Homo-oligomer: A and B are copies of this chain.
Amino acid sequence: MLALYKQQTKCLVALDSIIFGFDGETMKCLLVKRGLETQDDHWSLMGGWLEPKESLNEAAARILFQLTGLNQIYLEQLHAFGEPHRDPIERTVSVTYYALINVHDYEATISHAYQADWFGLQELPNLLFDHREMIEVAIQALRQKAAFHPVGFELLPEKFTLPQLQKLYEAIYQTTFDKRNFSRKILSLGILERLEEKQKGYSKKGAYLYQVKKQPAQDLHAFVTNVDGLFRDTLFTS
């Protein structure tokens, strides 16, 4: 049995994290300069190698912190990339993670001492290895999730207007939605509660403020991943 293990070829395992940031208007992606690039004009995702005693989650969190100062970000595992020559120097399987954060909340953290910067999704620079493909897969995953889940609501103020929410979804999908269709569809999910208050100052009438209903807000992550809750409720109950 041990002999069987000994015959196998080992390889490096890397973690690469895609951090999306929403600034109230547009969606950005966080990139760093790691010094692994053969050319100076290549940027990288937040990547590094798995260490012997770490789990994949622990390694992804450590690497993100070391490269950007970002801490306690909920990283969701995305996909493993393992084409034989994706890293030309050494065979490396990369497990990717992604997160969506509020750019303003972490401005101070990221701007200090790290070679990290935000890039608009339409203005990505030259990227290391298959990092552009990783970002594309992450965008698809984010869109897929956002189509059915309250993704990114934690990036909005606690009380928000439907136009503010629409901006978030338009940033995720890189498109514009019809205002009435968007309102109707998002309200049909049954996760928003309309408040008595209105947002003043932008228009004469003011826009109604909404908040995520109490139950999901208590534990948004559990709510999102609880298949037996949201998923089945959405499809199978009246």
Contact = CB atoms under 8 A, between A and B. Distances in A.
Interface residues of A, number: 54
Interface string A73-113: 00001011111100001110101000000000000000000
Contacts of A232: 143, 147, 173
A11 B228 CA distance: 36
A234 to B, nearest CB: 7
Contacts of A234: 147
A197 B236 CA distance: 26
A5 B34 CA distance: 13
Contacts of A144: 227, 231
B53 A82 contact: no
Interface stretch (A18-26, A44-52, A114-122, A210-218): A44-52
Interface in A165-189: 173, 177-178, 181-182, 184-186
A7 to B, nearest CB: 9
A1 B235 contact: no
A235 B185 contact: yes
The 6 closest A-B pairs by CB, nearest first: A10-B10, A56-B82, A147-B231, A8-B49, A80-B95, A80-B80
Given A8-B49, A56-B93, A143-B228, 17 more contacts: A1-B35, A9-B50, A9-B51, A10-B13, A11-B11, A11-B50, A13-B82, A50-B93, A52-B84, A53-B84, A56-B82, A77-B79, A77-B80, A143-B232, A173-B232, A178-B236, A186-B235
